[in-house]
Amino acid sequence: MNEIGLDAIRAAVEAGREVVKHTPVVPSFTLSDMLGGTIALKAENLQRMGAFKIRGAMNKLASLGEAVTVGVTAGSAGNHAQAIAFAAHHRGVPCEIFVPDGASISKIESCRAFGAVVHEAGSTITEALAAAMARAEATGMAFCHPFDDPVVIAGQGTLGLELVDDVDDLACVIVPLGGGGLAAGTAIAVKTQRPNVRVVAVQAAACAPYLGGHPADGPVMTLADGIAVKHPGAITRPLVEEWVDEVVAVDEDTIADAMVLLMGRAKLYVEGAGAVGVAALMSGVTAPAPRGTTCVVLSGGNVDLGVVPGLIRRHEMQAGRRLTVFVKIDDRPGGLARLLAIFAEVGANLLEVQHVREGLHLHVRETGVRASFEVRGRDQADSAISAARAAGYDVHEE
């Protein structure tokens, strides 16, 4: 294994200088107030291509020299693919990307926008990687591994250099952990210079091989698809074990909560894989440092727009700001209007309504109605239900 140290990481800064942004560290007063300590966010979701992966990709392409002219291949769920596609476009070389079935549509479109040829290959990242490697062997193209490569790890470690430069009282770094390239590179860069800084790596509980988890064959269902790597790398595993102080895991509900908090309070659009560090703090599986700054790495912001409405609905239900009821009403003109008027009188705003006639025991002059309302909180929801029941409706909250 090639030695990965500060010299290699500092050289990677030069390799990416034309493209890689020095992303900001943003204080989080919301998290600091909620959890105690001083918490800041490393906004890598604002990086070029929306994720940290461009750091390793630029370093990898630079390391290939003239050998890269044949082209490059990569297997990835999305962020590494985008980064390699962009780096190849930047250097003017051919690129072929292999993604698992069901990979993010927005990430696939981004790869194609940079001229990459995209292939769907298998149902997992492992299968996509194998297809990319086979293509490289068959064509002479250079294979670019998303994490298990010393050059890529050194590139990701440039993030750690920025943390040391930007945070004078850095005490703890919380970083997402998938294959381990970001966690290992960041830990090496930080702890080589400041050995007392604690580094905590966070996995999604649905796919946590560094904690001994062995996910079943097939795709992993998780909001944190960008870190759903089933097997640690031969290079990254020993590095994570040596340099990272603790590995923890977070569940899907907490990841969803963290994504919504970051959108609503920090005004930062962060994908599930990028939000796991905040989820770890919110769930209590790790805690901020008692002194100094705890910096959470938000590793990416490439969220499929289709995910967002579901997150918002879930949050509104939990916060008591969304009320869904089922009611049987007279199936006559004006029947639905009378019901909705009762809810309107207490200030409940109708969001959605549907008639339900199948699978119910209904009188010939009845219909079922399922309706969702926006409310200000639990008190208003209770008032709306009470008013409807007082008017003779049998209301069931869902």
**Could you tell me the CATH number of the domain that includes residue 288?**
3.40.50.1100
- List % helix, strand, coil for the chain (3-state, nearest 5): 45, 20, 35
- Residue 328 to residues 41, 350, 369, 386, Cα–Cα distance (Å): 49, 17, 6, 16
Q: What is the pLDDT of residue 14?
A: 96
Residue 52 in tokens: 């940290």
Name the more confident of 219 and 344: 344
> Residue 117: which domain range?
53-148
Same domain for 67 and 163, yes or no, is no
Q: What is the pLDDT of residue 216?
A: 61
Strands (DSSP E) contained in the chain are 25-27, 38-43, 72-75, 95-99, 117-120, 142-143, 170-176, 198-204, 246-250, 293-298, 322-330, 349-356, 366-374, 395-397
Residue 93 falls within a domain, yes or no?
A: yes
3-state class (DSSP) for residue 209: helix
Place of tokens 């209301």: 395
Q: What is the pLDDT of residue 226?
A: 86
pLDDT digits (tens, 9 = 90+) for 22-41: 999 999 999 999 999 999 99
Q: What is the mean pLDDT of the chain?
A: 92
- Give, as one character, the DSSP assignment of residue 314: H
Residue 1 falls within a domain, yes or no?
A: no
What is the CATH classification number for the domain harbouring 345? 3.30.70.260
Residue 123 falls within a domain, yes or no?
A: yes
Task: With beta carbons less than 8 A apart as the criterion, state whether 234 and 9 touch.
Answer: no
Q: What is the pLDDT of residue 31?
A: 96
pLDDT digits (tens, 9 = 90+) for 78-118: 789 999 999 999 999 999 999 988 777 777 888 999 999 99
Mean pLDDT lowest for which of 13-22, 117-126, 252-261? Answer: 117-126
Taking residues 335-352, what's their average pLDDT?
93
Same domain for 166 and 257, yes or no, is yes
Share of the chain above pLDDT 90, in %: 73
Same domain for 88 and 228, yes or no, is no
Residue 122 contacts by C-beta under 8 Å, 6 or more apart in sequence?
100, 101, 128, 130, 131
The amino acid occupying position 97 is I
Mean pLDDT lowest for which of 86-95, 213-222, 383-392? Answer: 213-222
- pTM, two decimals, is 0.84
- Residue 260 to residues 109, 271, 310, 311, 375, Cα–Cα distance (Å): 25, 10, 11, 7, 19
Same domain for 10 and 45, yes or no, is yes
Residue 30 falls within a domain, yes or no?
A: yes
Confidence of residue 1 (pLDDT cuts 50, 70, 90): very low
Residue 315 falls within a domain, yes or no?
A: no
Same domain for 100 and 136, yes or no, is yes
- Mark which of 286, 310, 334 sits at the end of a domain: 310
Answer yes or no: is pLDDT of 2 > 80.
no
Share of the chain above pLDDT 70, in %: 97
- Mark which of 121, 148, 175 sits at the end of a domain: 148
Answer yes or no: is pLDDT of 351 > 60.
yes
Same domain for 229 and 351, yes or no, is no
The residue among 328, 180, 318, 327 whose CA lies nearest residue 253 is: 318
CA 174 to centroid of chain Cα atoms: 14
Residue 15 falls within a domain, yes or no?
A: yes
Place of tokens 């030069």: 14
Q: What is the pLDDT of residue 316?
A: 75
Same domain for 325 and 298, yes or no, is no
Residue 200 falls within a domain, yes or no?
A: yes
Q: What is the pLDDT of residue 217?
A: 66
Same domain for 274 and 191, yes or no, is yes
Residue 41 falls within a domain, yes or no?
A: yes
Same domain for 284 and 194, yes or no, is yes
Same domain for 129 and 162, yes or no, is no
Place of tokens 């796919």: 207
Taking residues 209-216, what's their average pLDDT?
79
Q: What is the number of structural domains in the chain?
A: 3
Answer yes or no: is pLDDT of 353 > 50.
yes
- Mark which of 282, 310, 338 sits at the end of a domain: 310
Same domain for 183 and 303, yes or no, is yes
Same domain for 340 and 358, yes or no, is yes
pLDDT digits (tens, 9 = 90+) for 165-193: 999 999 999 999 999 999 999 999 999 99
3-state class (DSSP) for residue 340: helix
